[in-house]
């Protein structure tokens, strides 16, 4: 039986694991899937961020973890469409339009999980 509270924790753990995996893949295969531009600083950020999300997910802090993941992802995604900010993100982290779209999607889904799934 799956309890509703487990959805928060499971989502955080899955997203954390995916972030770690993306960080590792980015060192080996860039751009990822031929469309998602990455570089070393972004790969390190994904590894560290993924580890933090995994840690909090395992500790059972799924809802606040998903909320903050959603906020950060949405903000980074939106900044990727703002002239000046998008150039800065591209220069520092190799972020391109495809990643900005993905960040917005992850942000919306993460916030939906955080606020839409009752504990």
Paired tokens of 95: 């972020």
**pLDDT single digits (tens) 70-102:** 999 999 999 999 999 999 999 999 999 999 999
| H-helix segments, the chain | 4-28, 40-58, 62-79, 85-93, 97-116
- Is the pTM value of this prediction over 0.75? yes
**What's the confidence (pLDDT) of residue 1?**
45
Q: What is the largest CA-CA distance in the chain?
A: 49
> What is the 3-state secondary structure of 105-118?
HHHHHHHHHHHHCC
**How far is Cα 13 from Cα 5, in angstroms, rounded to an integer?**
13
**pLDDT single digits (tens) 22-66:** 999 999 988 888 899 899 999 999 999 999 999 999 998 899 999
């Amino acid at each position: 039986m799956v309890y509703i509270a487990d959805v928060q924790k499971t989502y955080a753990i899955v997203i954390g694991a995916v972030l770690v995996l993306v960080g590792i893949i980015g060192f080996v295969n860039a751009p990822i899937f031929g469309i998602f531009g990455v570089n070393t600083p972004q790969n390190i950020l994904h590894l560290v961020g993924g580890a933090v999300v995994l840690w909090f997910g395992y500790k059972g802090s799924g809802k606040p973890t998903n909320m903050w993941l959603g906020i950060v992802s949405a903000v980074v995604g939106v900044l990727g469409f703002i002239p000046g900010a998008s150039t800065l993100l591209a220069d520092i982290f190799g972020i391109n339009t495809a990643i900005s779209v993905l960040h917005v999607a992850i942000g919306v889904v993460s916030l939906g999980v955080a606020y839409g799934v009752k504990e």
